[in-house]
A and B are shown apart, each in its own frame.
Chain A
């Protein structure tokens, strides 16, 4: 079978070279009326292919998209995205049609004359001011939403969680009863005493902190994330929550959101169900085990060999369940040998 494949490739290459040398013998080099006519029509054919592909992707790939935002802050992101996408979609469909249709319509002929048309201030003012006006709206909504997401002060009852990255794993630290994280620095890392996140255990705020390898978040409570990295840049990407922030060695970065649906609720979301069913069909055909939807935190900044496999599961639950879960975790004072 493989031999046949190589023979096929060999023949294909041979034929191409033969064709190329044959074509090279054609000595016409400048497009004539016949070429203009043919190429103009090809542009029309291409337009059909192009629109078919665009529409097919827009429809068929809808099921692959991320489901609706699972955070309250992300709702406006989805809105803004929809507005922007419709807008650029319409412009795209009109502009591409005009480009290719004009190419077809005005394909050259010897007996035709082009119109001498060098300037029109009216037209130019129109297509400068309309984009400017539309952009003003997008910029306004965008910056409003950006401030909305990025403003973290004023949420005093937000749960503070530190997300900690290293090559190639994630850890997290809950701030405990006092909701204040103890100081952290790489100098405090001591693998032997299980202080893997470099927490200053002489800080009284550190004692009740809780280190975990999986995130549990209560539905409806604002979460205030603080990110640290111990070696290179990483990026904590939580696509379902429309959340992402880089983890930078030497500084603490922040992001916040409020989970809107528990994991269980999200699994019943029609968009999620459609996507999951689709995935399970594919997995079944390959004989792989059943997949169930989970929120994930992925690394999204190139960080070395295992960048492609740096993930942490996020589970969103009701507040009662969250309280039960967190109370069962041991505090750092209990875990770290001092």
Chain B
């Protein structure tokens, strides 16, 4: 970090920057851009589900040759749900969430001048950018983008005869995801090395803020599981282009028997979900980490059960790698495996319950500062509980038989990882915006944004459980071919209305974000009166984060409202205020918390 006074050009500062703070902003804005695409797609296909035979000008405008008279074609419907899922899971909630906040917060909260390798960090972003470009390009392929579902199960994803999206669209999907995985791995390795090696003096692992623990463990899960998806993608490329038979066997399509022999789609499912399930936690853990920090700060209370929180993060991470089979109970794998995966899956409920109870106890007898970030964090706890509980139904193989791939599943995972992770991301943006841009976001718009979003989120996903229990399969272009689902149409209309309002309401956030970036009130150094080290850096960004020495850490991150007399809640605050920054030395006789 000797280049403090190195003269920066526009290109090295804003484009090929190696500064973690700039890279985090690049991740965030790219993720937000991809998010707009994915949300627009969801609004289009929700309209199709609610009003299947109605012609829409907007469909005509957006879908071009993939629609007839303003009604979308079945193939493009499947493409929309596929790309919506892919972009949301990987580009928004993995890169956009973890990429943004790991980059921003890891060096700042552990007390480092930058990431272990600024260069690799830059490469990580630019690979992500490239993969985004490729994914967006795939939308303009003549036969349409990939349409085999975000899980891209072969043979559907391998055979262009089976669905048009499995031609060039699928090729670009695989290329894009391969680049994405490279980006993700480089990023994750960097995060792990940085957390392990660059902590400032006194920053023991047991003093790390929970955000750091969450990002650190997330990076480890990523490194363990993403390579498996890469190998699955490569083997699929071989099957598609070079005539191998890893996943294909005994196929008769378009009037001819194909040459594939001996492969199995079930193998692909194993490889895919070996990443696919941990991916859920790659998405969720950072959001929970952010929430721990935001809830503790705004409750003016230490996070309850700090060590239990760390243990549950580790337990969730470990279990997440041995539960993937619960996506495959009825895939045709040996039923004995079903029992094993039921057991491991339901075990995850224990650390998850511990986390939920600990958040609740943190709120108890707090002095809650209801800033927008805090509202989103409370919203996260709520959706995490709602969505997590239905996991007990889905994780039980016997019950999964009848609700597998129905809308019950869609409702479950959207609440527990979609809405929760998005809420975590919003909480992070509202909370750390002053650190990113040196200005504050508008409070009133933040409140509007939160209330419309949470009402719409529940308006969409709560009723959706019930149409799933009525047996409605997901990924149906229209339900009109089944009279037994006629009574679900009205509910689908209501869901779509909530989805449209909720989607459009995100404009409030975007307006707030971009206007505040330029016109927001200047931030003070520590606006939320927080303990963590990032708030000891100057408001204006400097390369290397701290102008002088890196601060030394003397305590954990959660000394909020600490008292002179630990047993007397009425006694005075120990350091004269209700927060004590991590770099404040212990007073004589002060107990370590």
Contact = CB atoms under 8 A, between A and B. Distances in A.
A99 B378 contact: yes
Given A143-B342, A248-B332, A127 B354 contact: yes
Interface in B328-356: 330-332, 335, 338-339, 342-343, 346-347, 349-350, 353-354, 356
Interface of A: 16-17, 20-21, 23-24, 26-31, 35-36, 39-40, 42-43, 46, 49-50, 53-54, 57, 61, 63-66, 74, 76-77, 80-81, 84-85, 87-88, 91-92, 95-96, 98-100, 102-103, 106-109, 112-120, 123-124, 127-128, 131-132, 135, 138-139, 142-143, 145-151, 166-167, 185-187, 189, 191, 198, 227, 230-233, 235, 237, 239-240, 242-246, 248-251, 253, 275, 278-279, 282-283, 288, 291, 293, 296, 298-309, 311
Interface in B54-104: 73-75, 78
Contacts of B445: 20, 23-24
B455 interface: yes
Contacts of B479: 308
Given A250-B264, A251-B266, A107 B370 contact: yes
Nearest to B521: A27
A30 B442 CA distance: 9
Interface of B: 73-75, 78, 148-149, 153, 155-156, 159, 162-163, 248-253, 255, 257, 262-266, 299-308, 330-332, 335, 338-339, 342-343, 346-347, 349-350, 353-354, 356-361, 363-371, 374-375, 378, 381-382, 385-386, 389-390, 392-393, 396-399, 401-402, 404-406, 440-445, 447-448, 451, 454-455, 458-459, 462-463, 465-467, 469-471, 473, 475-479, 481-484, 486-491, 507-508, 511-512, 515-516, 519-521, 527-528, 558, 560-563, 566, 569-570, 573, 578, 593
Determine which residue in B307, B471, B489, B491 has the highest number of CB atoms from chain A within 10 A of its CB, and name it.
Answer: B471
B405 A77 contact: no
Given A40-B368, A81-B399, A131-B350, A92 B385 contact: yes
Contact of B382 (A16, A74, A99, A118): A99
Contacts of A301: 153, 405
A291 B225 CA distance: 49
A116 B338 contact: no
B463 to A, nearest CB: 6
10 contacts: A29-B442, A61-B463, A124-B358, A231-B155, A235-B405, A237-B473, A239-B471, A251-B249, A283-B483, A291-B483
Contact of B264 (A50, A100, A115, A251): A251
Contact of B402 (A17, A99, A239): A239
B392 A138 contact: yes
Contacts of A282: 486-487, 489-490
Given A77-B398, A253-B332, A124 B463 contact: no
Given A127-B357, A245-B330, 6 more contacts: A31-B371, A108-B300, A120-B304, A139-B343, A233-B155, A308-B477
A225 B507 CA distance: 52
B492 to A, nearest CB: 12
A139 B350 contact: no
Contacts of B369: 30-31, 36, 108
Given A119-B304, A304-B163, A307-B476, A31 B370 contact: yes
Given A116-B301, A232-B159, A307 B475 contact: yes
Contacts of B308: 124
Contacts of A279: 483-484, 486-487
A171 to B, nearest CB: 13
A61 B489 CA distance: 12
A42 B476 CA distance: 38
Contact of B398 (A54, A106, A142): A142
A194 B478 CA distance: 32
Contacts of B471: 66, 237, 239-240, 298
Contacts of A95: 356, 360, 385
A24 B515 CA distance: 8
A305 B74 contact: yes
Given A29-B440, A142-B399, A146-B338, A246 B332 contact: yes
Contacts of B361: 117, 120, 123
A300 B406 contact: yes
Contact of B335 (A76, A146, A198, A305): A146
Contacts of B406: 300
A118 B302 contact: yes
Contact of A142 (B302, B354, B396): B396
Contact of B528 (A20, A30, A232, A253): A30
Nearest to A102: B363
A95 B359 CA distance: 11
A271 to B, nearest CB: 12
Nearest to A250: B249
Contacts of B573: 113
B257 A189 contact: yes
Given A64-B487, A244-B404, A302 B156 contact: yes
A240 B307 CA distance: 47
Contact of A118 (B381, B466, B482, B593): B593
Given A115-B561, A149-B398, A308-B477, A233 B454 contact: no
Q: Which 10 A-B pairs have the closest CB atoms?
A: A250-B249, A239-B471, A150-B335, A29-B440, A253-B332, A39-B370, A186-B252, A308-B476, A142-B396, A88-B389
B162 A96 contact: no
Contact of A291 (B350, B401, B486, B515): B486
